[in-house]
Amino acid sequence: MSVLEYWKEISLLLSAGFAVAAIFWEPKNKISGKITIWGRCLMLLTVVLAALSIVGQFRENSETTARNDRVQREMLVVLNRTERTIFELARVLQPIENPIIDVEFEIDCASIRYREFCRIKQHDVEKVLSLERRHHGDVTPVQLGWEDYPEGRAVIIPLHAYFFRKSEDAENFIRSGCFLCPRSGDLDLNLSPDNYSPTKSLSLRFDVRSRRFLLASYNKTIRAELNSREIMSLVDFPGTTMIIAESNGYLNDLKPTMMLLRTPRGQSITIPSFETRVVGNQRLFIHRFPT
């Protein structure tokens, strides 16, 4: 028991003692009506006892408040540790490993590289729409062949998506100008889609609703290069910076419209918008994940 709890017991005993004393010693003279010396002593002791009881109660309330605050702080520490443990388990048990990537690029038909290609393919698209009696609000895209593509029939785009935990590391990467250097970023996804290998994923299509020509890569399984422990899972993405880059100038006439990243364990994240940054004669596309 604490001192305050002892004081409560003492207060009860003293109160009982004063009550008994009042029986044996008259606190007030019956004849004169004046308070006797024993009455004055009992009154003084009662006042002192009441004051000490009030002080004791205040101290007990203070100790109770302090104890509750300490318990709450300890509970918050335990909860934070638990949350951190769950977060670390999610990182370890749900690694990115071999993600499946979908990415779409809109072709700039006003550029010198694609101007003639778009003119020819637009004529082909109109013939398909007329032949199949499809209207311009149709959701099914028109698949296109590679015979008139500016780079030829066999195409590969050496494309990487780099992820940086710290924004200053992303800016240093941009300033370096080495956009295909090995071990760049905390996480490196080598997208590099092609249209001829056994795992080909690159396709040409015309989106009927938006009237846009698209260069797209779907369902491409890639190997994630983890260059640090900063980004190991999708739960690490908030607050990071992603940069899509290559070194052959392909991106100068393309604009990403969507990127979807899925893991074999069922997690997914969609990246719907990108910031354009021009560095020298290269165009980069940047997405900053909100915290």
- The pLDDT tens digits for 231-265 are 988 889 999 999 999 878 889 999 999 999 998 88
- The pLDDT tens digits for 38-56 are 666 766 767 776 676 777 6
Q: Could you give the CA distance from residue 276 to residue 229 in angstroms, rounded to a whole number?
A: 28
- Token pair in block for residue 141: 């895209």
Q: Given this model, what pLDDT does residue 195 score?
A: 93
Place of tokens 């044996």: 24
66: Cβ–Cβ under 8 A, 6 or more apart, which residues?
none
- Amino acid residing at 24: F
Q: Given this model, what pLDDT does residue 114 score?
A: 95
pLDDT, greater one: 203 or 71: 203
Place of tokens 């895209």: 141
Q: Given this model, what pLDDT does residue 27 score?
A: 59
CB of 121 closer than 8 Å to CB of 144: yes
Average pLDDT over every residue of 79-108: 78
Containing H/E element for 131?
helix 115-131
Q: Given this model, what pLDDT does residue 130 score?
A: 83
Go through 113-123 and write b for each residue having 16 or more CB atoms within 10 A of its CB, e for each that does not: bbeebbeebee
pLDDT, greater one: 223 or 204: 204
Label residue 107 by pLDDT band (50, 70, 90).
Answer: very high
Average pLDDT over every residue of 263-283: 90
Helix-then-strand count for the chain, H and E: 4, 12
- Amino acid residing at 108: D
CB of 233 closer than 8 Å to CB of 90: yes
Q: Tell me the domain boundaries of the chain.
A: 3-92, 96-288
| pTM of this structure | 0.69
Secondary structure class of 74 (helix, strand, coil) = helix
Report the mean per-residue pLDDT for the chain.
Answer: 83
